Amino acid sequence: MDLNRLFERAKNVLLLPKTEWPVIAAEPATTGTIYKDYLVWLAAIPAVLGFVDATVFGYGVPFMGSIRIGVGAALQGAVVSFVLTLAGIYVFSLIVNALAPTFGATKDGVQALKVVAYSATSGLVIGGVATLVPWLGGLLTLGAAIYGIYLLYLGLPPTMKCPPEKAGTYTAVSVLVCFVVGAIFWSLAGRLLLGGMMSGALPGLPERTASDDIQVDPDSPLGKLERMGKQMEEAGKKLEDAQKSGDAKAQSEALGAVLGAALGGGAQVESLAPDRIKPFLPETLAGLPRRTLSAERNAAMGMQISEGRATYGDGQGRELTLEITDLGSAQGVMALAGWASIESEKQTETGYEKTARVDGRIVHEEWDDSRKRGEYSIVLGERFVAKIEGKAQGIEQLKDGLGAVDLAGLEALKGEGVRPAN
């Protein structure tokens, strides 16, 4: 294995995708060589770093602090993660290949695996390293995943011979079908679905030719995803120019602009300054006096997020924590979650966990009746997250506590610091 060639390929995919994709499309390859010479090495990065994170640093668990996993369990988890990553990439390539005729592309299993495997570079490398980065790690992981979608968007025309004007829709549909397939795969063990994809078509999707016109409602989730892809393409052009200049600082800023275009939903957002968040952390909450107060704004790769946090307690065991987060440059993620109408519900022996859309807002709540502890959070203006957690008589008490915060005033600031992407 030539590690220098692997590092060079990964770097070029991340920094020079437009020039690297034609090279990838033209070079001879098989499923085995793609896995042996590239994927198994990159897939090992998040698996190994996840093992280190679990055994050395530990995971933060609400109400319980940091928990470290035993070496045996962590090793088993790393192996499972490694295998599922490799399997998931192959399944995604089946989806991309099955959808090819729908968008005037050419079906080719090896080329489909190429475009999916190399698009996964950002998620495997940046996302893997992000597991060791506290606080911003989740944001970087999400940014890496979205940048991977952008790489897929750029790679489909040269690898799958997709008409460039249909690449955005092809990308959006492939990603959304992947989510659906994933859900069905885990609920039905993937038997019927994989059989359908192996036969060359997905149920309910008609075969089309390159001459078919595909129109997407611009206000639909697919339309917004397609528009996001085009905005990332514009930012990608700046990244390409910066790479040609040889200026390392310009390259870093340009890469941040690409992630910002993805996470920001096409807008540049300056998150609220700490002193703008502090007024939303009242001196008393649910009859408890405020004991601590902090507010901060953090930035990385051109992206900003602000957070304010306060604790309230009576000194006799009852304590609540209130957090106000301005997602700032990542507000596009919440918009995407809203478009997708994300909902979930889980019941346990002692409580429940639920995410739903209530009065147009994403609401998440958790409750453990045995410990009389819970969490209640609301997404405001697809930008701010207000969360309260701690001990209470019931979830309604937490809801009432958060309801006493000036949520309307916070939501009214959703346009502050927002300017269209250049």
How many Å apart are CA 139 and CA 224, to the nearest integer? Answer: 21
Task: Print the domain residue range for 129.
Answer: 3-263
* Model pLDDT, residue 10: 87
Answer whether residue 248 is part of any domain.
Answer: yes
Scanning the structure block, which residue is given the tokens 């979650």?
337
Q: With bands split at pLDDT 50, 70 and 90, how would you rate the model's confidence at 77?
A: low
Q: Of 212, 235, 263, which residue constitutes the final position of a domain? A: 263
Contact status, residue 123 vs residue 148, Cβ threshold 8 Å = yes
Q: Of 216, 242, 263, which residue constitutes the final position of a domain? A: 263
Same domain for 303 and 199?
Answer: no
Q: With bands split at pLDDT 50, 70 and 90, how would you rate the model's confidence at 209?
A: very low
* Model pLDDT, residue 299: 67
Flag whether pLDDT at 198 surpasses 50: no
Answer whether residue 269 is part of any domain.
Answer: no
How many Å apart are CA 54 and CA 49, to the nearest integer? Answer: 9
Q: What is the mean pLDDT of the chain?
A: 74
Answer whether residue 406 is part of any domain.
Answer: yes
Instruction: Give the model confidence (pLDDT) of 122-142 as tens digits.
Output: 888 876 665 555 545 556 667
Q: Calculate mean pLDDT across residues 331-354.
A: 67
Instruction: Give the model confidence (pLDDT) of 379-401 as tens digits.
Output: 888 788 899 999 988 999 999 99
Same domain for 58 and 37?
Answer: yes
Contact status, residue 325 vs residue 306, Cβ threshold 8 Å = yes
Q: Of 263, 290, 316, which residue constitutes the final position of a domain? A: 263
Number of structural domains in the chain = 2
Same domain for 87 and 179?
Answer: yes
Which tops the pLDDT comparison, 99 or 243? 99
β 284-285/373-380 pair status: unpaired
Question: What's the DSSP call for residue 305?
Answer: E
Answer whether residue 104 is part of any domain.
Answer: yes
* Model pLDDT, residue 92: 86
Same domain for 142 and 46?
Answer: yes
* CA dist list (Å): 56 to 5, 11, 53, 71, 295: 31, 29, 5, 10, 29
Q: With bands split at pLDDT 50, 70 and 90, how would you rate the model's confidence at 41?
A: confident
Q: Calculate mean pLDDT across residues 20-29.
A: 94
* Model pLDDT, residue 84: 77
* Model pLDDT, residue 23: 95
Instruction: Give the model confidence (pLDDT) of 238-257 as tens digits.
Output: 656 665 666 666 665 665 55
* Model pLDDT, residue 128: 64
Same domain for 251 and 282?
Answer: no
Alpha helices (H) in 131-247, listed in sequence order: 137-160, 167-188, 191-198, 221-245
Q: With bands split at pLDDT 50, 70 and 90, how would you rate the model's confidence at 194?
A: very low
Q: With bands split at pLDDT 50, 70 and 90, how would you rate the model's confidence at 421?
A: low
Flag whether pLDDT at 55 surpasses 70: no
* Model pLDDT, residue 159: 95
Nearest to 264 by CA among 129, 139, 175: 139
* Model pLDDT, residue 381: 84
Q: With bands split at pLDDT 50, 70 and 90, how would you rate the model's confidence at 175?
A: confident
Contact status, residue 274 vs residue 296, Cβ threshold 8 Å = yes
| Total-model pTM | 0.50
Percentage, residues of the chain above pLDDT 70: 61
